[in-house]
């Protein structure tokens, strides 16, 4: 990467080159990319081809956007706006009304097949989708219209990923996730309520750098972020393995930071990287379990907003330590008849030889004495 | 010695006749039946299928009974007892077969099982104790022992069909160690520590009749159907939902050795989980029947000694004659 490009970055993003490289390295680390990937990311961002992004809001609380805005890496707000060309976003738009809708249509027409569609919020299906409308169009129509020519579709937050809170029983509006509607192209799900902003940013940067979406799991989630279960990486896991649990809120075990499983922690059945990358860049403990509240499984369909918060989790993997006591412990074999007999024979021979030797100790050899005399 | 072959054979014949006579005159005492469940018997229900193997019970038991961690690995990092011992009252053990992937499955599966005193209705340990240091509470049925009375003969260790009583073999003044169902905690109105802390309710405390009903209820629900499971005490409002497992259709402890006050449920056959098939008649009832039979009205001992006396007298007479 030459100085000219970095200088251009400095002017374009208003970032020192040090801050910029730090950001690129952080992105690479979040995705678990090998050494050198940060340079590739830096090159991709430095190039002026910013993908246009259309960001739609449906049945949601805007928490995902708020989470994005609070990403604390240096000047990230600038990077969001400068890495990507955010052509339509209802929360961040200066314009409103027909002006905003016109901007969306214009961008979609100009960047046909090139723009990234980000959906935040669930889509109501009941009664023709009349329960959520923007600019007179139902969410259902909008998502179909915008996804038709999108290069990639990203569903941010649990609502867009699988229905989230609006889809909780009795689900009065028939809320569903994006991948229930868009079937003809892959939808990247970034569930969470809200998800870590870096899971979203890393997905976008991956797309920018490598020209394709990151590897996804069976539920359309990037494996780098949702490949591991919370329980396996939780800082309180040693307490679980040692059988130490908070029995109730505020008891001694709770204050000592014991495992929150008994209080209903959904870590054992929720896939997310929360314990690894935490939230808000303020250091250790900055995630729900770190603060002493059990994980509610917000990112997991069928768990978050479905199971009661303090009901017991169903561990997906039960992985006791290797040294766990077995029903029948492998033990050394006792003495067998054959080996006993062999040892008795050897022992007998040794005793016999020893006795013979001891008996001969005091005797002089007759041959020697005869030689001595001569 | 002046003792002819003829006289020896005669004496032997007379002796065996006396013994046979003694056996014939013994009217068999009425066989002692299994003891029955005390009226307010309490116990535990351990359900292997909802146990996640966290060992919270093992840790809580240590705190409640003041035992110390037991190490079984070289590094001595973790409390890791391999079985109940002179240092450990309860332990959770793991069954693993083949790939060991599926919970509560016999093939290629794994499961957990609790080891601790089952509190027999008719305990062998109490029956064999020569100094009545081992006792069964007539009301709660808790099998406990009085260290001050114990003479350390370890008959109870040999007699127990479940190898439960353990001895501090490594101590100069050893004591016996076994689960006493936290009777000191119960005296304070608390429940046994293992049931108190169990996060899933796999170890449940309560009256044995209620525990038996609960076990039957679980066995009746088809596998895979959602079922509710209480925590701490049977019938407590603190319940959680969990799909019912494919149980072995038997609650271990309902019949074994005349019944136990701790009941076990499992998805893997009990023989594989370290709990052997045992008959319904308790060892204690049979052993006591034989013992009492032999000494019934002292007929057998009197007859035997009479026979022996006759042989001895006869031999002495012959001896005198030869002299």
Mind telling me how many Å the CA of B167 is from chain A's nearest CA? 19
Q: What's the CA gap between B42 and B141, in Å, rounded?
A: 7
Domain identity same for A217 and A239: no
Does the annotation place A146 within a ligand binding site? no
Domain identity same for A108 and A257: no
DSSP states along B87-156 = S-S-EEEEEE-TT--EET-STTEEEEEEES---BSS-HHHHH-TTS-EEE-TTT--EEE-TTT-----HH
Mind telling me how many Å the CA of B73 is from chain A's nearest CA? 8
Q: What's the CA gap between B141 and B206, in Å, rounded?
A: 12
Torsion over CA of A159, A165, A166 and A171, rounded to 10 degrees?
A: 130
Q: What value does the mean pLDDT take over residues B306-315?
A: 90
A261 in B contact zone (CB under 8 Å): yes
- What confidence tens digit (pLDDT) does each residue in B152-186 have? 999 999 999 999 999 999 889 899 999 999 999 99
Domain identity same for A216 and A309: no
Domain identity same for A92 and A210: yes
pLDDT of residue B231: 94
CATH fold of B42-279, please?
Alpha-Beta Plaits (3.30.70)
**How far, in whole angstroms, is CA B168 from its chain's centroid?**
19
Which of A247, A326, A329 lies at the smallest CB-CB distance from B197?
A247
Which of B59, B196, B242 lies at the smallest CB-CB distance from A243?
B59
DSSP element (H, E) containing A13: helix A3-13
Mind telling me how many Å the CA of A320 is from chain B's nearest CA? 7
CATH code for position A69? 3.40.50.700
Q: What value does the mean pLDDT take over residues A153-169?
A: 95
Closest Cα in chain A to B271: A327
Q: Which of A156, A207, A190, A205 is nearest to A271 (CA)?
A: A190
Domain identity same for A208 and A237: no
- ipTM of predicted assembly, 2 dp: 0.78
Mind telling me how many Å the CA of A232 is from chain B's nearest CA? 14
First-to-final CA distance of chain B: 11
Q: What's the CA gap between B261 and B242, in Å, rounded?
A: 25
Closest Cα in chain B to A241: B54
- Of A224, A254, A289, the residue at which a domain comes to its end is A224
B93 in A contact zone (CB under 8 Å): yes
Task: State the alpha helices, DSSP H only, in chain B.
Answer: 5-25, 56-65, 124-128, 155-159, 183-187, 193-197, 208-220, 283-294, 299-322
* Edge-to-edge strand list for the sheet holding B203-207: B203-207, B42-47, B262-265
Cα R_g (chain B), whole angstroms: 26
pLDDT of residue A361: 63
Q: What value does the mean pLDDT take over residues B63-71?
A: 92
- Of A224, A241, A273, the residue at which a domain comes to its end is A224
Q: What's the CA gap between A29 and A7, in Å, rounded?
A: 24
CB contact under 8 A, B92 and A261: no
On chain A, the residues whose CB falls within 8 A of the CB of B96 are 326
On chain A, the residues whose CB falls within 8 A of the CB of B273 are 327
Within chain A, how many helices (H) and strands (E) appear? Answer: 16, 9
- What confidence tens digit (pLDDT) does each residue in A99-131 have? 889 999 999 999 999 899 999 999 999 999 999
0.80 exceeded by pTM? no
Domain identity same for A109 and A208: yes
Higher-pLDDT residue of B257 and A10 is B257
Q: What's the CA gap between B188 and A107, in Å, rounded?
A: 74
Cβ pairs bridging A and B (under 8 Å): 76
Domain identity same for A197 and A237: no
Is the bond preceding residue A170 a cis peptide, omega within 30 degrees? yes
A317 in B contact zone (CB under 8 Å): no
Q: What's the CA gap between B220 and A47, in Å, rounded?
A: 67
Q: What value does the mean pLDDT take over residues A249-278?
A: 95
CB B41 within 8 A of CB B128: no
Inside any domain, residue A97: yes
Domain identity same for A68 and A179: yes
CB contact under 8 A, A243 and B96: no
**How far, in whole angstroms, is CA A70 from its chain's centroid?**
19
Work out the pLDDT band at B4, boundaries 50, 70, 90.
low
B82 in A contact zone (CB under 8 Å): yes
Q: What's the CA gap between B183 and B171, in Å, rounded?
A: 25
Does the annotation place A295 within a ligand binding site? yes
On chain B, the residues whose CB falls within 8 A of the CB of A245 are 54, 56, 197, 199
- How many folded domains does chain A comprise? 2
Q: Which of A183, A150, A178, A193 is nearest to A309 (CA)?
A: A193
Work out the pLDDT band at B140, boundaries 50, 70, 90.
very high
Q: What's the CA gap between A95 and A20, in Å, rounded?
A: 30
* Neighbour tally for A340: CB within 10 Å: 11
A223 in B contact zone (CB under 8 Å): no
Work out the pLDDT band at A69, boundaries 50, 70, 90.
confident
CB contact under 8 A, A318 and B53: yes
Q: What's the CA gap between B21 and A143, in Å, rounded?
A: 102
Domain identity same for A119 and A17: yes
Domain identity same for A52 and A80: yes
Q: What's the CA gap between A98 and A110, in Å, rounded?
A: 18
DSSP element (H, E) containing A359: helix A337-360
Mind telling me how many Å the CA of A323 is from chain B's nearest CA? 7
Does the annotation place A132 within a ligand binding site? no
Phi, psi for A155 (deg, rounded to 5): -100, 110
On chain B, the residues whose CB falls within 8 A of the CB of A325 are 72, 80-83, 91-94
Inside any domain, residue A196: yes
Best A254, A313, A325 residue to mutate vs chain B (most B CBs within 10 Å) = A325
DSSP states along A119-182 = EESBEE-GGGGTT-EETTEEHHHHHHHHHHT-SEEEEEHHHHHH-TGGGSTT-TT-EE-GGGT-
Q: What's the CA gap between A236 and A295, in Å, rounded?
A: 12
Q: Looking only at Cα atoms, what is the longest distance across chain B?
A: 92
Task: Please report, for chain B, the start and end positions of each structural domain, with discontinuous segments joined by +.
Answer: 42-279, 282-323
Mind telling me how many Å the CA of A155 is from chain B's nearest CA? 31
CB B268 within 8 A of CB B105: yes
Cβ-based neighbours of B254, under 8 Å, separated by 6 or more? B212, B215, B263
Closest Cα in chain A to B84: A325
On chain B, the residues whose CB falls within 8 A of the CB of A328 are 274
CB B62 within 8 A of CB B81: no
Which of B82, B94, B274 lies at the smallest CB-CB distance from A320?
B94
- Of A182, A208, A224, the residue at which a domain comes to its end is A224
Domain identity same for A156 and A43: yes
B270 in A contact zone (CB under 8 Å): no
Share of chain B above pLDDT 70, in %: 89
Parent domain of A260: 228-324
Mind telling me how many Å the CA of A178 is from chain B's nearest CA? 30
Work out the pLDDT band at B15, boundaries 50, 70, 90.
low
CATH code for position A262? 4.10.480.10
């Amino acid at each position: 990467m030459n100085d000219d490009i970095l200088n251009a970055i400095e002017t374009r993003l208003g970032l020192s080159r040090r801050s910029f490289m730090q950001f690129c390295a952080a992105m690479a680390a979040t995705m678990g990319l090998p050494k050198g990937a940060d340079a590739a990311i830096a090159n991709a961002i430095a190039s002026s081809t910013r993908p246009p992004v259309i960001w739609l809001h449906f049945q949601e609380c805007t928490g995902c956007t708020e989470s994005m805005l609070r990403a604390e890496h240096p000047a990230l707000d600038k990077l969001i706006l400068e890495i990507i060309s955010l052509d339509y976003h209802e929360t961040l738009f200066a314009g409103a009304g027909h002006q905003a809708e016109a901007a969306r249509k214009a961008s979609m027409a100009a960047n046909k097949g090139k723009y990234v569609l980000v959906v935040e919020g669930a889509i109501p299906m009941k009664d023709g989708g009349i329960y959520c409308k923007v600019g007179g169009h139902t969410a259902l129509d909008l998502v179909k219209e915008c996804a038709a020519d999108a290069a990639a579709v990203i569903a941010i937050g649990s609502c867009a990923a699988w229905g989230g809170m609006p889809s909780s029983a009795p689900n009065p509006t028939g809320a569903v996730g994006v991948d229930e509607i868009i079937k003809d192209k892959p939808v990247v799900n970034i569930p969470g309520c809200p998800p870590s902003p870096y899971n979203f940013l890393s997905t976008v940067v991956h797309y920018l750098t490598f020209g394709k979406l990151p590897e996804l799991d069976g539920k359309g989630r990037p494996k780098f972020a949702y490949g591991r279960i919370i329980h396996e990486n939780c800082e309180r896991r040693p307490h679980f393995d040692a059988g130490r649990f908070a029995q109730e809120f505020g008891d001694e075990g709770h204050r000592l930071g014991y495992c929150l499983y008994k209080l209903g922690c959904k870590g054992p059945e929720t896939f997310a990287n929360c314990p690894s990358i935490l939230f808000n860049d303020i250091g250790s403990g900055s995630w729900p379990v770190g603060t002493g509240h059990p994980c509610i499984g917000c990112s997991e369909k069928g768990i978050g907003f479905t199971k009661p918060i303090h009901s017991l989790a169903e561990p997906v993997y039960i992985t006791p330590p290797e040294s766990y006591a077995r029903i029948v412990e492998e033990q050394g074999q006792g003495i067998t008849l054959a080996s006993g007999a062999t040892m008795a024979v050897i022992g007998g021979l040794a005793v016999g030889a020893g006795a013979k030797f001891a008996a001969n100790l005091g005797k002089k050899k007759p041959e020697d004495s005869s030689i001595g005399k001569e | 010695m002046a003792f002819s072959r003829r006289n020896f054979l005669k004496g032997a014949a007379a002796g065996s006749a006396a013994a046979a006579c003694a056996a014939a005159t013994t009217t068999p005492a009425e066989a002692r039946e299994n003891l029955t469940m005390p009226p307010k018997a309490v116990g535990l229900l351990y359900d292997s299928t909802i146990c996640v193997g966290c060992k919270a019970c093992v840790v809580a038991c240590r705190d409640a009974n003041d035992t110390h961690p037991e190490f079984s690995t070289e590094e001595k990092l973790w409390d890791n007892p391999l079985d109940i011992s002179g240092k450990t009252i309860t332990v959770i053990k793991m069954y693993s077969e083949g790939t060991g992937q599926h919970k509560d499955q016999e093939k290629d599966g794994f499961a957990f099982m609790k080891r601790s005193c089952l509190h027999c209705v008719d305990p062998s340990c109490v029956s064999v104790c020569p100094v009545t240091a081992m006792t069964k509470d007539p009301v709660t049925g808790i099998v406990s022992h009085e260290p001050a009375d114990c003479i350390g003969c370890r008959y109870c260790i040999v007699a127990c069909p479940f190898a439960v009583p353990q001895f501090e073999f490594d101590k100069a003044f050893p004591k016996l160690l076994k689960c006493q169902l936290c009777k000191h905690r119960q005296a304070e109105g608390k429940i046994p520590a293992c049931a108190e802390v169990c996060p899933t309710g796999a170890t449940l405390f309560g009256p044995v009749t209620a525990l038996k009903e609960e076990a039957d209820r679980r066995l009746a629900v088809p596998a895979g159907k959602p079922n509710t499971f209480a925590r701490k005490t049977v019938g407590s409002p603190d319940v959680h939902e969990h799909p019912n497992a494919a149980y072995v259709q038997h609650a271990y402890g309902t019949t074994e050795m005349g019944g136990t006050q701790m009941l076990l449920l499992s998805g893997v056959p009990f023989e594989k989980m370290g709990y052997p098939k045992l008959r319904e008649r308790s060892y204690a009832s049979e052993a006591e029947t034989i013992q009492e039979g032999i000494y019934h009205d002292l007929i057998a001992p009197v007859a035997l000694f009479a026979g022996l006396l006759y042989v001895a007298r006869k031999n002495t007479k012959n001896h005198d004659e030869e002299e």
